Structure 1
Amino acid sequence: MRKVIIVEGKQDAAFVKVLAPDLEVREIEIQELGGLGKDNIKPLKIALNRVKNDALLNPVEKIGILLDLDPVDFNEESKLAFLNEALQEVFGVALTGVNDFQSIVELDTQVACHFISPNLDVLLKQIAAQPSPRADCLHSCLEAHTHAKQKEKDKAWPLYYMRWDVCEFEERENGSKYVNFTHTHTKGAWNLNAPVLEELKAFLALF
């Protein structure tokens, strides 16, 4: 029976698909939120309602929710409370911790969550497999500008790395096609055997 894992955006979806290449065999669908923030829980509620309505017609065995922890705004406890607000409104259930399933009797399914700490962008920097002199140089310049938010700084490094250290000149000319996780993975940009990925792999193995 099919499973659904909800992620925050396109890069998250691409990352999960590379990290778990057997998704189709395991009947796992990846669905994107398209935006989420401390003061914006609405996309999460919409995504959960979409899964709920779909599951009434096409049963779902398990539901996974994969979000950034974002320690600037949350700790694990407050992030879980943030998520539970949406889960209680849509499904009438609450999770007690990460990686632990909670039954949704109405749909005869289960739901669990996992938080990437601190966020996917920092995780990508940690698993970069090639030298990154250009990304490091550009990022140090950004770090010097104190008006930039930490989230903006975190997001910048992987983009710098993919564009300037991994992609060739011709590929940079078509950034929308080549400057992304899926393509740079084919060029050996990421170490998918890094120990820092073990907890995330364990979560995905639950589905």
Structure 2
Amino acid sequence: MTDVENPDRPLARRTRRLFAVAAVVLALDLLTKIVAVAVIEPGRPIEIIGDTVTLRMVRNAGAAFSMATGMTWLLTLVAVAVVVGVIRIGRTLRSGWWAVGLGLVLGGALGNLIDRFFRSPGPLQGHVVDFVSIGWWPVFNVADSSIVCGAVLLVIITLFGIEPDGTRRADDKSDAPAATESAAATESEKKA
């Protein structure tokens, strides 16, 4: 079936990109956490670059920067809502950049959500495994960095006026030609 017969092909391609990015992030997060739990002893950090970059085992009951440590169950529900929201938005994506950004957020949210469900002390209250320590920055993991990078990317593309449907916001006259170019690119993708 050609793209002319199936106008949703770019949509399907962007959705696949979102899920592919999320799957890679999730796999890396799970793998690194398994290795970290097996190799890093609590209270005995492994120095990578002096004491600036270390691998340090931390079980985080809270959100980023160990905030809301007494509300683990609520953080779990929020993470579930984020996953559902990203999947719903992902089904309508026509922007490759949005697919990458949302894929990073989805993969990271799923990685930490798996910890919340399957690590001790129990379902909805599990502690997230954090192990990368850089200087004064709080200890984090692959999922955390993926969520942050995805969020930063989404903010940047939003500031540039790129919409999830692949068009550019025409807030002023300078953006109008970009929206026309985006529409023309979408039409050429359909014909290719």
Q: TM-score range by the shorter chain?
A: under 0.3
Greater relative contact order (Cα 8 A, min sep 6): structure 1 or 2?
2
| TM-score, normalisation: structure 1 | 0.22
More helix by share: 2
